[in-house]
Amino acid sequence: MITFNKIRYDKEQGQIYCGICGEVFRENTDIYISQKDFGILCEECIGKITNEQIEEFIDLFNKFGGYFGIFKPNQITLKQIVDEFFNLTSFENSADIIESNLKLRYKALLHGYTPKELVRKIKELI
């Protein structure tokens, strides 16, 4: 279970970005710091994303960089992301499946699609 420490942003801390949405923290806003993996989140992200998803997001962004919605969703549809994944992926062993699955979820996040939306789209297409 992921837990957070809440601190007040102070401009003395320099420019800090939310690790999920990439927004810059402003004066008199709260910063939520996860005790696991040093994830830094804004109030808005804490309010709208489940803890389980936050953990997954932080993990993927720490590993591969970027943040949620760094690319505009209209650059590529969720269907295109899923289609591309099934066209390029060969499932020869379980390590491939786990790795590919991670990349698929990461790509969807970069384009601003949540894991929930991704699962819904895959179910719709298969």
**Residue ranges that bind Zn ion, judged by CB under 5 A:** 18, 20-21, 42, 45
CB-based burial label for 78 (10 Å; 0-12, 13-18, 19+) = buried
Select 38 or 86, whichever has its Cβ closest to Zn ion.
38
Q: What SS3 class is residue 41? A: strand
Q: Which is nearer to Zn ion, 29 or 100 (CB)?
A: 29
Cβ proximity to Zn ion, 21 vs 118, nearer residue: 21
Pick between residue 50 and residue 77 the one whose CB is nearest to Zn ion. Answer: 50
How distant, in Å, are the alpha carbons of 14, 31, 42 from that of 10? 8, 10, 14
**Closest approach of Zn ion to the CB of residue 46, in Å:** 8
For helices 51-64 and 115-125, angle between their N-to-C axes, nearest 10 degrees:
90
- The structure tokens 């970069």 sit at 110
Q: How far is the CB of 120 from Zn ion (least distance, A)?
A: 23
